[in-house]
Amino acid sequence: MTGFWLIVHRDVVMAWRQGGDGLMAIMFFLITVTLFPLGVGPESGILARIGAAVVWVAALLATLLSLERMFQTDFEDGSFDLIAIAPLPLEAVVLAKCMANWLLTGAPLLLTAPILAMMLHMDREGLAIFVVAMALGTPSLVFIGAIGAALTVGARRGGVLLTLLVLPLYIPVLIFGVGAVEAAVTGQSAQPHLLVLGGLLLGTLPLGLWASTTALKQALE
Amino acid sequence: MHRFANPNRFLRIAALILPWSAAITVTLLVVGLYLALKVSPADYQQGESVRIMYVHVPAAWMALFVYSCLAGASAIALIWKHPLANLAAKASAPIGACFTFIALTTGAIWGKPIWDAWWVWDARLTSVLILFFFYMGHMALTSAFEDASRGERAAAILALVGFINIPVIKWSVDWWNTLHQPASIVRLDGPAIHASMLAPLLIMAASFATYYVSVLILRLRSEILARKMDALRLTRVRDSQEAHSL
Amino acid sequence: MDDTHPPSDTSQEVGVAIGAKKPQKKVGVLFAGRGLVCVRGGRTVFVGLDFALEPGDALVLMGPNGSGKSSLLRIMAGLLKPAEGDLLWHGYAVEDDARSHYARQHYVGHLDGLKVAMTVSENLSFWTGLRMGEVPSASSVRNALSAFGLDCLADFPARILSAGQKRRLSLARVLASPADLWLLDEPTVALDRDSVAALKQAIAHHQQHGGMVVIATHSEMALDRARPLHLDRFVPASELAELQEDAATVLRKNGHKAGKKGRRL
C-alpha cells in the first residue's frame, strides 16, 4: 500500500508546486458558467431553470482539462517504465492516479460548484442535493476519463481525441446528475437519481480500472 | 511467418463468398425496393412519406448490428489476439458509421413532414446520434497512432467499453426522454405493422446485411494486401541497407 | 527460424569467453534467454538470440544502431514481450512469475523518469520507496546520492540538474536498493570521467557480491568477467524471397486489379 500512497502524494505535490491543473480547471469552470448568464440574459427564472444543467456541463468539461496529462507525462519522461516494473499492480497504480486526479480537480469543483449554483439562483433544496450528486458523480467522471487518458497515450492530437472519446461516456452521469437536482427543485424525491449515480460509480470503478490498465499495457509494448 | 499465417486462408474463403453475397445483395435490394416503393400501401396517417421507413429502420438495425459485430471482433482480438479480428473491427467501423449516418439523415427527412421539424430530441434519434459519436471516436482512435497496430488495439478496448456503456446510455436517454417529452408527438413506429409493410422491411434489412458482408470482405481483403505490401517494402528497404553496409 | 542460429552455437562462444577471463567457482547459469525473437513495428530485429549469465557475470551488448540493444534490455526487464523464445531464471520461465522478476532487477533506460518539480532526494526516495514498498531511510538515500557525488544537490529541485547529473541520479537509484540484476541502457552517455569511474566501481562491487549486469554501451568499459554479445550476429536472414512468394500467390488468386497494384510496388 505504501506504493499507492507514494504515487498519490507525488502527483498531488507536483501539481501543487507547479500551480497545476486544479486551479486551471476551476478557472475554466468559473468562466464557462459565467458565459451562460451573458448568453441567455440575467433573468432569474431562466437561470434557475437551466442552472443545474449549466454547472454540470461546465464541470464535465473542466474535468477533461487535466486528463490529458494523467498518464502522458509519465510516459514521456520514462517514469511509466519504472512504475510498470514496480511491485504495485498496474490496477492499483491507475487507482492512485485517479485518486490524485480527483483530489486535484474533482474536489475543488465540488467546493466551487455550490457557489456557482447559488449565483444561478438554485434554491436551497436543490443545492444540498446538487452537492451530493456532484460528490457521487465526479469520481465516476475520473474513472471514465482515465480510460480515455490511457487509450490516447502517445496518440496524435491526444487531447482533442480524448474529449471525443470521453464525452459520450459522460452522458449518463450528466442526465442523472441534473435529474437529481430537478427532482429536488420540483419537490420530488431525488433518491432514485442519487442511487443511479451511486450505481454508475460502482460500475465505472471496475470498468475504468480494467480498461485503463489494459490500454496502458498496450502502450508500454 | 506467424505474422500473416491465417490471412491466406481467409482470402481463399473470401473469394468464394464474395460473388454470392454481392449477387444476393443486388437481388434483395431490387426486390425490396420494388415492394417498398410500388407494392406496399401508403400509411393512412403519414401518407407516402412512410416509405422512408424501408431505408431508415433497416439502417438503424444495421447500425446496432455492425456495432455488435465490431465489439465481438474486438473481444476476439483482445482475448485470442487473432490477427484478422483487429482488421475486421477496423473495417467494420466505417460501414457501421455509414449505416448510422443514413439512419440519422433519413430520420430527419422523415421527421420534417411528421413533426414539422428536421430534428426532434426523440429518445431513439438521440441514442442513434450518440452511437454515431462512438463510431467516430472509434475511427479517430484507430488512426491516431504512428504504429497502426497500436491504434487497432486501443480501439478494441474502446469498442468493448462502448459496448458495455451503450445500453446504459440508451437507458438513461430513454429515461431522460420520458421525463422531458411533450406527450403529443406521433411516434415513428406503430405497434402493429401490416404484412404488406413487414415483408419489404425484412427484405431490405436482409439486403443491408448481405451488403455489409460483401463490403467487409472487400475492405478486409484490401487491408490484408496493403499489409503484405508494407512488409515487402520494409524488407526491401532493410535488405538494400544491409547490402549498402556490407 | 531456430535453425539459422542453433542455441549450442552461442553458448559455446560464451563458454570460451568465460574461460579466457577468469575461471571461477561454477555456480551455474542463473539468468538465461533462449531463442529470443524481437519484432518491432513489423520489422524483425533479431532472431534466435541466446544468452546465459552466472552470478557475477557482466553481459555487454554491442551492435550498431537499430540492432536491438534497447529492445533486448526491455525484453530482459519484462517491459517487452519477445515475439518468440523464453527468458529463464534458475531454469524457470520468467513469464510465469513476472512480479518476482521485477523485484530482482534494476532497469535504467534512455529516459531518466525524473520529475523536475521534485527535489533530487525526493525523486530518489520515490522510486526506491515504490520499488521496496516502504519509504527508504534518509541515510540510505544520502549514501546512494554521495556515491555519484550528488549529495550536495539533494535538496535542490531536479530542474537545475544537467544531463549528466540527471544520468547520475538515475544510476544512484540502482544503488539505493538491492537487486540481483542490473539492466543498464547506455549508462555512460553524458557522464564525465569521474562518474564513469564511479559507475565502474559500483558495477565491480555489485559483481563481487554475486550480482549480474547487462549493459548496452558504445564506449569501451573494461569490466570484469565481461561477456560480449554482438547483436548484429542475430539479424534475420532476408524474408524477401518468402514474402514475394507469398504476395505472388495472393495476387494471382485475386485477379488483375490487385496484380497490377503489386507490380507497381
Sign, CA dihedral C115-A94-A202-A55, equals positive
List phi, psi (to 5°) of C157.
Answer: -65, 145
The C residues from 62 to 101 touching B (CB cutoff 8 Å) are 83-84
Q: Cell digits for B226?
A: 496493403
How many CB atoms neighbour CB B188 within 10 A? 21
Q: What is the ipTM of this complex?
A: 0.88
Closest Cα in chain A, distance from residue C95 (Å):
13
3-state secondary structure chain B: CHHHCCHHHHHHHHHHHHHHHHHHHHHHHHHHHHHHHHHCCCECCCEHHHHHHHHHHHHHHHHHHHHHHHHHHHHHHHHHCCHHHHHHHHHHHHHHHHHHHHHHHHHHHHHHHHHCCCCCCCHHHHHHHHHHHHHHHHHHHHCCCCCHHHHHHHHHHHHHHHHHHHHHHHHHHHHHHHHHCCCCCCCCCCCCCCHHHHHHHHHHHHHHHHHHHHHHHHHHHHHHHHHHHHHHHHHHHHHHHHHHHC
User: Are the beta carbons of B140 and A161 separated by less than 8 Å?
Assistant: yes
CA distance from start to end of chain C: 27
| Cα three-residue angle C208-C51-C104, rounded to 5 degrees | 50
Asked if C261's CB is within 8 angstroms of B229's CB, the reply is yes
- What is d(CA C241, CA C238) in angstroms, rounded to the nearest whole number? 7
Least confident of A159-173, B180-194, C102-116: B180-194
Task: Kindly identify which residue of chain C lies nearest to residue A14, measuring between CA atoms.
Answer: C117
Give burial (CB, 10 Å; 0-12/13-18/19+) of B245: exposed
pLDDT of residue C222: 75
Cβ pair C83, C160 in contact under 8 A: no
**What average pLDDT does the segment B18-31 reach?**
92
Compute φ and ψ for C216, nearest 5 degrees.
-100, 125
Q: What is the DSSP string of A135-165?
A: HHHHHHHHHHHHHHHHHTTT-TTHHHHHHHH
Q: Which of A218, A221, A216, A220 is nearest to A70 (CA)?
A: A216
pLDDT tens-digit map of B112-166? 887 788 888 888 888 889 999 999 999 999 999 888 888 999 999 999 999 988 8
Q: Using one digit for the tens of pLDDT, what is the confidence trace for C81-95? A: 888 888 999 888 888
| Record: contact C78-A3, CB cut-off 8 A | no
Low-confidence ranges of chain A (pLDDT < 70): 1, 20-21
The confidence score (pLDDT) of residue A122 equals 86
Over residues C122-181, the pLDDT tens digits come to 999 999 999 888 888 888 889 889 988 888 888 998 889 998 999 999 999 998 888 999
* Residues C189-226: tens digit of each pLDDT: 888 888 888 899 999 999 999 899 999 987 767 777 88
Q: What type of residue sits at position C232?
A: D
Instruction: Give the count of alpha carbons within 13 A of B204, CB side only.
Output: 25
**Contact state of C243 with B235 under an 8 Å Cβ cutoff:** yes
- Taking each helix axis from N to C end, the angle separating A107-119 and A44-67, rounded to the nearest 10 degrees, works out to 160
pLDDT exceeds 50 at position C23: no
Chain B's closest residue to C247, CA to CA, is: B228
Confidence of residue B188 (pLDDT cuts 50, 70, 90): low
Cell 456495432, located at residue: B67
Please give the Cα distance from A55 to C115 (Å, whole number): 34
Considering just the CA atoms, what is the radius of gyration of chain C in Å? 22
Beta pairing, strands C181-185 & C226-230? unpaired
Query: How much is the pLDDT for B224?
Result: 86
Cell 409493410 sits on residue = B197
For C250, the closest of B3, B8, B230 (CB atoms) is B8
Lowest mean pLDDT among A11-15, B184-188, C49-53: B184-188
More confident position, B181 or B231: B231
B7: amino acid identity, one letter: P
Is the model's pLDDT at B52 over the cut of 90? no
Q: C51: closest CA among C63, C61, C43?
A: C61
Using DSSP, state whether C217 is helix, strand or coil: coil
Which residue of B152, B235, B241 to mutate against C (max C Cβ within 10 Å)?
B235
Task: Answer whether residue B183 shows pLDDT above 60.
Answer: no
Q: Residue C131 and residue A84: Cβ atoms within 8 Å?
A: no
DSSP 3-state of C59? strand
Instruction: Note whether C169 and C159 are within 8 A (CB).
Output: no
What residues in B contact C84, CB-CB < 8 Å? 2
Q: Is the pLDDT of residue C243 over 80?
A: no
In whole angstroms, give the CA distance from residue C118 to residue C124. Answer: 10
| Interchain contact C60–B (C-beta under 8 A) | no
> Which among C44, C243, C256 is the top mutation candidate for probing chain B, defined by the most B β-carbons within 10 Å of its own β-carbon?
C243
Facing residues of C61 across strands?
C216, C229
Cβ separation B161–A219 shorter than 8 A: no
Count of C-beta atoms within a 10 Å radius of residue B20: 12
Residue C237: DSSP 8-state = P
Q: How many CB atoms lie within 10 A of CB A66?
A: 22
Question: Residue A220: its chain C contacts at CB < 8 A?
Answer: 79-80
For residue C240, name the pLDDT band (cuts at 50, 70, 90): low
Asked if B53 and B201 count as a contact pair (C-beta separation under 8 A), the reply is yes
Angle at B230 between CA B226 and CA B236, to 5 degrees: 145
Residue spans of alpha helices (H) in A18-123: 21-40, 44-67, 69-76, 79-84, 90-101, 107-119
The answer to whether residues A135 and A107 touch, using CB atoms and an 8 Å cutoff, is no
Q: What are phi and psi of B45, to 5 degrees?
A: -100, -45
Percentage of chain B lying above the pLDDT 70 cut: 87
Residue C242's H or E segment, with its range, is helix C240-253
Mutate to test the interface with A, among B79, B171, B172 (most CBs of A within 10 A): B172
CA nearest to A59, candidates A157, A154, A142, A165: A142
Cα B27 → chain centroid: 21
What's the confidence (pLDDT) of residue C241? 66
Q: Quick: pLDDT tens for C61-83.
A: 988 888 888 999 999 998 888 88
Q: Which SS3 state, helix, strand or coil, does residue A19 take?
A: coil
